[in-house]
A and B are shown apart, each in its own frame.
Chain A
Amino acid sequence: MAAYIIRRLISGFIILALVTLFVFFVMRLLPGDPLIIFMGRSVSSGNMSMEQLENMRAEYGLDKPIMVQYLNWIKGIFHGDLGTSIHYHEKVGRLMLERFPITLHLDIFSLFIGTFLGVMLGIAAAIRRGTWVDTLATGFANIGITIPVFWLGVVLMYTLGLKLRLLPIAGYTSPFDDFWMSTRQAIMPVICLSITSMAVIARQMRSSMLEVIKQDYVRTAWSKGLKERVIIFRHVLKNSLIPIVTLLGLAIGIVVGGSVLVETVFAIPGVGRLLVDSIFAQDYVVIQSSILIIATIIIVVNLLVDISYGWLDPRIRYS
């Protein structure tokens, strides 16, 4: 088990190294210059001279050869310095510290809700197969998969926020400052973030349950005189969750990717929003570092997912 985890960590490390290479060099391939964009946006840039521009270029190390720039970035990461944003004039580490908890708050919430509701919906559809419950759940799941998240966001804002005035239209408040407000503001973003993974999980859960219900050991469970509830939750659920765990790794990707859209739509100052703003500003350093952090999270979560298989299915041994 320990050997397995170490091996996975090493391979994760290699993947991250490839991610840094890819992100760094692809960004540099794009036409445009972050400094000129910055100058164009800043108020005081009208009287900025070429000399000042070159000074700034040197300040950010952008005058050095591209390989040196890459190595400097990597060296910085190992020293805990992710670089300095051109656009925000701030250390990327600080920016992340500000924005990361926001994204984490909404994403973890969405992942939890999406998984829980997805599993429940799948169970309901499977054990009431062919009834209106099944039709409703399956239909809902199909809508959830096809619906564009940003469109859903706008529709929710318009109906629940603007017309019915049930929820605040946009924005973010920390739950430590105002828990009630924070929760109300989080509802619509969480719906948008969780709907796709919920739909995917519900569909997989349904077919997985239907598969397990046919198994001989479930018939054995019935022959023992157990209640239906006990059979479903003790004998069927754990066995049907195995393919769901695989999906969890995928769901993380869906939610994190969704954050980019949802945070933009709902004006939430999280990492997703930061990433979008930085792309428009061609703020190399922020983009590189955000993507590196997101990639790290996805790799770690997938490792946790793979380890949890062993808990669900005792036949799986790690070697």
Chain B
Amino acid sequence: MSVLLDVKNLTTQFNTEAGIVKAVNDVSFQLNEQEIIGLVGESGCGKSVSQLSVMQLISAPGKITNGEVNFEGRNLLDYESNSDEMRAIRGGKIAMIFQEPMTSLNPTLTIGRQLTEMLELHLNMTKEAARERAVELLKQVGISGAESRLDDYPHNFSGGMRQRVMIAIGLSCNPRILIADEPTTALDVTTQAQLLELMKDMVSKYNASLVIVTHNLGVVARYAHRIYIMYAGNIVESGTTEEIFANPQHPYTKGLLKCIPRLDEEKGRKLVPIEGLPPNLINMKSSCAFAPRCSERLERCLTEAAPPLRDIGNGHYVGCFEK
């Protein structure tokens, strides 16, 4: 399996009036060909910002201050955000699906137009060819009567259907990578399962890789090959899905697992939430960001910086002191 996307030491910060917010702090991750990875963490821990940084969709006052995004032998951060090279990557090579299906589609354009504009742009298709391809894509994501629905507007679709349209848009130009930013958060549970299944099938059909950003470990358990756990702008643990679930090392990962129910456990276990809230990212201290909420906290955790990710075998890395 070869590496498709190699993100190194990515740092994105927002210069606000209250101070500097390091939303993504020295984050590195890799995505292999035809792999599905999960990026998991609480709200506001930098998951989305890290992915938007890969796409260079960070707008002022946000700024990518450091790092590399290596993709197909190039560092994407060498390109200006609005350069022709970067625009060819966006949508053409790396596509993104967003959290809110209700607001992510333009209400004044037909679904067909929102699909074909991308085909015309990246694949130089004619209007007719693009329309045909759009019908085919809608069929593939399970929208019945695709031909006639092409001329409908987003408000004629339900949330789940809109997210199917977003998946069709995302995969329309055969991208190498699909980034799904909390794709199912706004939907009900049965629709969530259907959409995840659809996404898995579609990316394998198109030989693409998939990044699922979510706050719900349960969502990625079934689909992701590997999982990255993020906290306060840092990756605190990573490993194969089996390793993370069977052998969690970081107290934060353990905490996340304790607060979701599992089928393979004894009945009657109480779900345990993680106490407290994620820290305010403005002007952070250099010591471990999770220490104040940590149940396994040591003296040194409050004074020393958290250690860098440490290899503990089986492709499992953890950013916590050895006990």
Q: Which residues of A contact B (CB under 8 A)?
A: 215-217, 219-228, 230, 234-235, 238-239, 312-315
Contacts and interface: CB of A to CB of B under 8 A. Distances in A.
B103 interface: yes
Interface in B166-184: 166, 169
B100 interface: yes
B104 interface: yes
Nearest to A242: B108
B82 A217 contact: no
A315 to B, nearest CB: 5
A222 B107 CA distance: 16
Contact of B106 (A228, A239, A312): A239
Contact of A219 (B57, B88, B108): B57
A59 to B, nearest CB: 59
Contacts of A221: 106
A313 B108 contact: yes
B103 A216 contact: yes
Contacts of B108: 238-239, 312-314
A314 B155 CA distance: 9
30 contacts: A216-B100, A217-B105, A217-B106, A217-B107, A219-B57, A219-B104, A220-B98, A220-B105, A220-B106, A223-B55, A223-B95, A223-B98, A224-B91, A224-B95, A224-B117, A224-B118, A224-B121, A225-B86, A226-B121, A230-B117, A234-B109, A235-B109, A238-B108, A238-B109, A312-B108, A313-B107, A314-B107, A314-B153, A315-B153, A315-B155
Contacts of B88: 225
A225 B89 contact: yes
Nearest to A218: B106
Contacts of B95: 223-224
A225 B106 contact: no
Contacts of B105: 217, 220
A44 B186 CA distance: 85
Interface of A is mostly: helix
Contacts of B103: 215-217
B149 interface: no
Nearest to B99: A216
Contacts of B98: 216, 219-220, 223
B92 interface: yes
A220 B104 contact: yes
Given A216-B103, A235-B106, A315-B153, A225 B121 contact: yes
Given A216-B98, A216-B104, 11 more contacts: A217-B106, A217-B107, A219-B98, A220-B98, A220-B104, A224-B118, A225-B121, A225-B122, A313-B107, A313-B108, A315-B155
Interface of B: 55, 57, 82, 86-92, 95-96, 98, 100, 103-109, 117-118, 121-122, 153, 155, 166, 169
Contacts of B57: 219, 222-223
A234 B118 CA distance: 13
Contact of B87 (A225, A313, A314): A225
* Top-6 shortest CB links A-B: A225-B90, A225-B91, A216-B103, A224-B91, A225-B87, A217-B106
A220 B109 CA distance: 13
Contacts of B86: 225
Given A314-B107, A314-B108, A315-B107, A222 B100 contact: no
Contacts of A313: 107-108
B109 A226 contact: no
A223 B172 CA distance: 13
Contacts of B122: 225
Contacts of B106: 217, 220-221, 235, 239
A216 B118 CA distance: 17
Most buried by B among A215, A216, A238, A312: A216
A228 B107 contact: no
Contacts of A239: 106-108
Contacts of A220: 98, 104-106, 166, 169
A223 B155 contact: no
Contacts of B104: 216-217, 219-220
A219 B96 CA distance: 10
B89 A223 contact: no
Nearest to B55: A223
B197 to A, nearest CB: 23
Nearest to A129: B60
Contacts of B155: 314-315
Contacts of B109: 234-235, 238
Nearest to A216: B103
Contacts of B87: 225-227
A223 B51 CA distance: 11
A133 to B, nearest CB: 16
Contact of B90 (A222, A228, A238): A222
Nearest to B110: A314
A214 to B, nearest CB: 9
B117 A223 contact: no
A225 B57 CA distance: 10
A188 B95 CA distance: 52
A206 B153 CA distance: 26
B107 A234 contact: no
Contacts of B117: 224, 226, 230, 234
Contacts of B82: 228
Contacts of B166: 220
A106 B108 CA distance: 33
A219 B92 CA distance: 16
B253 to A, nearest CB: 30
